[in-house]
Structure 1
Amino acid sequence: MYVVRTLIMAGGIGERLWPVSVKKRPKQFHKFGSSKTMIEETIERMEKVTDEIIIITTREQFPLMQYYLPLFPGENVIFEPMRRNTAPAIALGSTRFSPDDIMVVVPADHVIRDEESFLKTLNKAIKYAESNDSLVTIGITPTYPYTGYGYIERGNAVDDNEEVYSVKKFHEKPDYETAQHYVQSGRFLWNSGIFVWKKSVFDLELSKNFPDLFSAISEISKRPEDIEKIYERLPKISIDYGLMERSSKVATVPASFYWNDIGSWDAVYDLLIKDKNGNAVEGEFSLKDVKNCLLINHTQKKLAVSGIEGFILVATSEGTLVCRRGESQDIKEIIK
């Protein structure tokens, strides 16, 4: 019987959600359409399906963790010396797992609804990873041709119940026409960034497909005092590029629960409840002839808005953002 343990990735800044998500309080410590922060919701979900939770974050975010998660054990927190994207973060986090552990990797900043369906899907992935030497990822059945997510192209079923499939290819964020083709074909899934594998299988695949990272993490295990020096020379690379796209042992479990990675203000608009004019509104506003807008005001002042349609307006003490809906992916470039 394997021990199932979770690694929660919680070191990101969420720059595309500026001016709400900022360095001193990134998006995982915010609430989106809920009474709890996203990191609190993630922990509660994962406690129902795994034996222990490890969080990987940065030292600068630790005070926030202590504030929002006062009961979470400090010894279960790993610090990344500097941000190096998800491949190095997951590899570093894996050093706290035993070779026989089933390792579940989840981001701290996703909104998931229909928890029962989520837990059922995750249990399928865990069961498959227990008995197969595979890197398993969960793919979300797309509900519309969204261009803000990467896609997984699935191959044939690899289990008798047709609940787990081989992965043919990972695809980057497509343009709208390509996304339409993906959705119509029925063979493509949104890439959720949720992974399940045996720690020993992860080590083997990492050593074969990304030997530089594997040897750097092995070095850190032997010489923890040199972690900063070793980690600094690692490339900034995602787990998809660094391992999943290179490995031949990847499987996917299709899922249909509500999932939103809150990767942009457009994703927040999709998530929130709308009024009769299609507006999602939080905070003090005076509106006239405003339709299909996302309006968020975290200041003490009332904002007056008139005669616009299909816009995003977000105001906080950090700054104000105005852009068209559908263009919020570009915020990262603007705030540079």
Structure 2
Amino acid sequence: MVKALIMAGGIGERLWPLSTKKMPKQFHAFGDSMPLIVQTMNRLRGLADRVYIITTFEQRDIFNQLIKEIELESLLVEPFGRNTAPAIALASMYFDPKDVMVVLPSDHIIRDLESFQKIIWDAIREAQTHDVLVTIGITPTSPHTGYGYIERGKAFTVKRNSFCVKKFHEKPAFELAQKYLRSGNYYWNSGMFIWRTEVFQKALEKFLPDVYNGLKRAFDGENSIEEVYKGFQSISIDYGIMEKANNALVIPSNFYWNDVGSWDSVYELEEKDTNGNVIKGKFVLHDVKNSLLFNMTERSVRISSVEDIIFVVTSEGTLLCHRGESQKVRELLK
């Protein structure tokens, strides 16, 4: 069977003060009237026989309150967050060995549904017929410095346009990102993965044996999941497995993709007025251009003679910065 796993335990710190622990970004709507998590669930229709969601105890209550269409048995809960590798590993214990896992983040915007589903189907077929760990690469449209990159190697299956992964690369400086863009062999790392459960767990046992063995003990009844989770390091699936594996594939894509990872990403995907502004809420403006303005309170905000700013005010707090600098919000919160 094909079973999807949606990762929905993050907080979305870089979208503070809208995204908070009480209401993380996947429960907000960007570029659409539906919350990001609902958009993710909808695009899996026709792809997966069953959809699971993994989240934390903190967010379980939000799901119960806001997302009524989720079956309780499909909601998997981590005792606490340990990044994506332990989360996916825990979820995999509920899958059968031959199941194909389609692992997706909960907070992405994807347009051109037909193209998205075709590429996921190609990845599913690769996972069904080969012992591979497949990821989806996003063809870059700019020298973006906020994403990791995947360098492709030799072709693997021509009819499915899949390639062996040569190397994963960290978020680059601007000059290096320009070289990646010009070469045509590099893709943005989307954080989407497809594999058979047994292939993933074999890699988990090899590269993260503490996680694999701890979860095995928990599911054999020797320890509780909370007990073994306490000993897990916080590690991403990229660092923990994908960068070390020699059976990783990448399938390039050209559909519109936005990880809504910062306020600059929100500015990119939302509609602008004639002055290039994205405006939500009550504002009185004079000579304001090319700015993102969110006012989620009932107070009137008045702004004059500014350009290229991000201004967000909620009951949680207020953020003001230049466009292009919103990646630093996480540093502000520290």
Would you call these one fold, judging by a TM-score over 0.5? yes
Distance 1:121 1:257 in 2: 10
- CA shift in 2, pair 1:162/1:285, >3 Å: same
The 3-state SS of whatever aligns with 1:158 is: strand
Distance 1:256 1:286 in 2: 39
- 2:84 maps to 86
Please tell me whether the aligned partners of residues 122 and 160 of structure 2 are also in contact (alpha carbons under 8 angstroms). Answer: no
- 1:72 maps to 70
Aligned AA (1:99): P
The reply to whether residue 138 of structure 1 matches residue 136 of structure 2 is: yes
Aligned AA (1:321): L
Q: 190, 193, 198: which one pairs with 1:195?
A: 193
TM-score calculated relative to the size of structure 2 = 0.98
Quote how far apart the aligned CAs of 1:48 are: 2.2
- 2:328 maps to 330
The reply to whether residue 256 of structure 1 matches residue 246 of structure 2 is: no
Moved more, 272-281 or 116-125: 272-281
1:104-183 equivalence runs, <5 A = 104-161=102-159, 163-183=161-181
The 3-state SS of whatever aligns with 2:289 is: coil
Which deviations, in whole Å up to 9, do the C-alpha atoms of 1:20-54 show, x marking residues without a partner?
00000000000002110011111111132100011
Which deviations, in whole Å up to 9, do the C-alpha atoms of 1:53-84 show, x marking residues without a partner?
11111122112112222121101111101110
- 2:50 maps to 52
Quote how far apart the aligned CAs of 1:162 are: 6.0
Report the count of equivalent residues.
334
Please tell me whether the aligned partners of residues 217 and 223 of structure 2 are also in contact (alpha carbons under 8 angstroms). Answer: no
Structure 2 unaligned spans of 5+: none
Please tell me whether the aligned partners of residues 138 and 192 of structure 1 are also in contact (alpha carbons under 8 angstroms). Answer: yes
Which deviations, in whole Å up to 9, do the C-alpha atoms of 1:248-297 show, x marking residues without a partner?
01001100111111111111111111112211111111111111111111
- 1:319 maps to 317
Q: 268, 280, 290: which one pairs with 1:292?
A: 290
Distance 1:288 1:219 in 2: 63
- 2:267 maps to 269
Distance 1:316 1:274 in 2: 21
TM-score calculated relative to the size of structure 1 = 0.97
Please tell me whether the aligned partners of residues 57 and 80 of structure 2 are also in contact (alpha carbons under 8 angstroms). Answer: no
Which deviations, in whole Å up to 9, do the C-alpha atoms of 1:141-176 show, x marking residues without a partner?
011111111110111110132600010111111111
Quote how far apart the aligned CAs of 1:224 are: 7.1
Aligned AA (1:75): E
Q: 227, 230, 237: which one pairs with 1:239?
A: 237
1:299-314 equivalence runs, <5 A = 299-314=297-312
Please tell me whether the aligned partners of residues 85 and 240 of structure 2 are also in contact (alpha carbons under 8 angstroms). Answer: yes
RMSD: 1.1
Identity of paired residues, percent?
51
Please tell me whether the aligned partners of residues 16 and 332 of structure 1 are also in contact (alpha carbons under 8 angstroms). Answer: yes
Aligned AA (1:10): A
Superposition misfits of 4+ residues, deviation over 2 angstroms: none
Aligned AA (1:95): M
The 3-state SS of whatever aligns with 2:114 is: helix
Distance 1:102 1:320 in 2: 43
Moved more, 203-212 or 116-125: 203-212
